[in-house]
């Protein structure tokens, strides 16, 4: 696959109103601008389809890639003679079988008779690239073709999560906590995402932008009707185009600057629909992101005054997912929680909340990402609020 900044840097866009009738036709038309599925899949090849299965949320919540998009893609892959399989590694605290069930992927894969792989049990290979150490699941490395199918969403730490960041799911979930600890700043985590992408580079990326997420994504934002699909052989070009569509400044997405060597305005050829025709009338970006352009030396000096930390609302049911996901071990549940241990979640709501050791928090947003109740909000420090006042990303 070509590096960013070299041909091809072509992104196809197609309007698509929903996940029912018309989706298959829209996907086929989208890929026709890139030479069709046959330009990427040859008969007999194994094709790993990599959706975003972040956690155990229903498709309507717009947290995960919609199974209807992957179903349509699986059928196209088979028509091209490929052998599809579906795999992803959700966050480290979500039970994989619950993710498959809630997201609709277990049912879809059973109906399509396509393997649904557990990347946590498939083994992995260790890599060291660009100063980052991580492992990639073997099925990702062994596949003849990787087709990346991200969900178009905001992200409270990285601003955007789409094609490049979706490949972070090639890292088995149990490693993700340690990697967040090792790369605690926005810039450092952006470099890690870039290194993972360069190691597990997809051959084709297809973004599910039919229904996306705005606000405080990737799991606690608001579902929003966007009405488009986007595809490219170059995931970096695809994410740059999504920034244009959603009116996100590319410099706010840390990994894009790394992968383009700072050439964020390099031209991208658009095929099919225009950016203007698919751009939403309004789109809300995360409200509590750290400034991206402050030099790291300055960040270290002002870190005591510039931070984002979690706050827990009355929606909290004391499930402990955030505690288990915290790479800095900055959260704990009170030893004596009100109510009974066998209470249903709705009976525990608002009675117990995690306690935060503020000095240990690294602002990684893992707690926000995994909360099943959307009870976590990331609050900026007073100085950060002043720095961001009147300057939305």
Domain holding 305: CATH number?
A: 3.30.70.3270
- In the predicted model, is pLDDT for residue 93 greater than 80? no
* Of residues 286 and 199, more confidently modeled: 199
Question: Measuring CA to CA, how many Å separate 254 from each of 94, 165, 320, 372?
Answer: 26, 11, 30, 27
pLDDT above 70 coverage of the chain, percent: 86
Domain annotation covers residue 283: no
Lowest mean pLDDT of 209-218, 227-236, 254-263, 303-312, name the range: 303-312
- In the predicted model, is pLDDT for residue 2 greater than 80? no
Residue 308 sits in the same domain as residue 250: no
Residue 144 sits in the same domain as residue 41: yes
Average pLDDT, the chain: 89
Strands (E), 314-382: 331-332, 355-356, 376-380
Arithmetic mean of pLDDT, 192-221:
97
| Per-residue DSSP letter, 129 | E
Arithmetic mean of pLDDT, 304-331:
88
* Of residues 102 and 334, more confidently modeled: 102
- In the predicted model, is pLDDT for residue 108 greater than 80? yes
**Model pLDDT, residue 196:** 98
* Of residues 186 and 48, more confidently modeled: 48
Q: Which of 278, 307, 332 is the last residue of a domain?
A: 278
Confidence band for 390, pLDDT divided at 50, 70 and 90: very low
Arithmetic mean of pLDDT, 352-379:
89
Residue 197 sits in the same domain as residue 71: yes
Q: How far from the centroid of its chain's Cα atoms is residue 100's Cα?
A: 17
The DSSP result for 39-104, as a single string, is: GT--TT-EEEEEE---SS--GGGTSS--HHHHHHHHHHHHHTT-EEEEEE---TTS-HHHHHHHHT
Residue 346 sits in the same domain as residue 253: no
What's the pLDDT tens digit per position in 230-277? Answer: 999 999 999 999 999 999 999 999 999 999 999 999 999 999 999 999
Domain annotation covers residue 5: no
Domain annotation covers residue 349: yes
Q: Which of 226, 252, 278 is the last residue of a domain?
A: 278
* Of residues 137 and 308, more confidently modeled: 137
Torsion sign, CA atoms 223, 224, 227, 232: negative
Domain annotation covers residue 4: no
* Of residues 186 and 42, more confidently modeled: 42
Residue 84 sits in the same domain as residue 145: yes
Of 139, 154, 140, nearest in space to 219 by CA: 154
Maximum C-alpha span of the chain: 61
Residue 45 sits in the same domain as residue 172: yes
Domain annotation covers residue 316: yes
Cis ω for the linkage preceding 363 (within 30 of 0) = no
**Model pLDDT, residue 215:** 94
* Domain of 52, in residue numbers: 10-278
**Model pLDDT, residue 391:** 45
Where is 272: in which H helix or E strand?
Answer: strand 269-272
Q: pTM for the full model? A: 0.88
Domain annotation covers residue 286: no
Arithmetic mean of pLDDT, 104-117:
98
- In the predicted model, is pLDDT for residue 289 greater than 60? no
Residue 274 sits in the same domain as residue 306: no
Q: Which of 252, 278, 304 is the last residue of a domain?
A: 278
Domain annotation covers residue 383: yes
Residue 150 sits in the same domain as residue 112: yes
- In the predicted model, is pLDDT for residue 5 greater than 90? no
Arithmetic mean of pLDDT, 118-132:
93
- In the predicted model, is pLDDT for residue 130 greater than 70? yes
- In the predicted model, is pLDDT for residue 3 greater than 50? no
Residue 230 sits in the same domain as residue 342: no
Q: What is the domain count for the chain?
A: 2
Residue 334 sits in the same domain as residue 254: no
Lowest mean pLDDT of 168-182, 363-377, 378-392, name the range: 378-392
Residue 140 sits in the same domain as residue 102: yes
Confidence band for 351, pLDDT divided at 50, 70 and 90: confident
Residue 312 sits in the same domain as residue 274: no
CATH number at residue 203: 3.40.50
Domain annotation covers residue 289: no
């Amino acid at each position: 696959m070509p590096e960013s900044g070299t041909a091809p840097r072509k992104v196809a866009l197609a309007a698509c109103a929903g996940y029912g009738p018309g989706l298959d036709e829209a996907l086929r038309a989208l890929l026709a601008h890139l030479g069709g599925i046959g330009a990427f899949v040859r008969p007999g090849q194994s094709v790993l389809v990599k959706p975003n299965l972040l956690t155990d949320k229903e498709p309507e919540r717009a947290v995960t890639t919609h199974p209807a998009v992957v179903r349509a893609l699986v059928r196209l892959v088979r028509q091209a003679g490929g052998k599809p399989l579906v795999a992803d590694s959700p966050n480290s605290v979500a039970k994989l079988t619950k993710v498959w069930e809630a997201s609709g992927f277990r049912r879809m894969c059973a109906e399509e008779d396509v393997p649904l792989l557990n990347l946590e049990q498939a083994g992995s290979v260790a890599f060291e690239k660009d100063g980052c150490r991580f492992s990639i699941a073997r099925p990702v490395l062994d596949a003849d073709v990787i087709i990346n199918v991200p969900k178009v969403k905001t992200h409270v730490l990285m601003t955007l999560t789409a094609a490049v960041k979706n490949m972070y799911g090639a890292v088995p979930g149990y490693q993700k906590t340690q990697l967040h600890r090792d790369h605690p700043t926005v810039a450092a985590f952006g470099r890690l995402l870039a290194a993972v992408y360069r190691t597990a580079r997809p051959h084709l990326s297809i973004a599910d932008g039919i229904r996306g997420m705005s606000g405080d994504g990737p799991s606690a934002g608001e579902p929003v009707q966007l009405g488009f699909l986007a595809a490219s052989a170059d995931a970096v070009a695809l994410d740059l185009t999504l920034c244009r569509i959603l009116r996100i400044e590319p410099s706010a997405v840390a990994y894009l600057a790394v992968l383009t060597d700072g050439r964020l305005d390099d031209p991208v050829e658009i095929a099919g629909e225009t950016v203007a025709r698919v751009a939403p009338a309004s789109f809300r970006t995360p409200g509590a992101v750290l400034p991206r352009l402050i030099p790291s030396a300055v960040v270290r000096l002002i870190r005591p005054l510039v931070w984002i930390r979690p706050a827990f609302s009355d929606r909290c049911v004391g499930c402990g997912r955030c505690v288990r996901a915290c790479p800095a071990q900055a959260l704990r549940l009170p030893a004596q929680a009100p109510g009974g241990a066998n209470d249903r979640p709705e009976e525990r709501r608002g009675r117990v909340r995690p306690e935060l050791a503020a000095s240990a928090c690294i602002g990684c947003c893992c707690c926000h990402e995994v909360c099943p109740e959307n009870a976590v909000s990331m609050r900026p420090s007073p100085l950060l609020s002043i720095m961001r006042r009147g300057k939305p990303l």
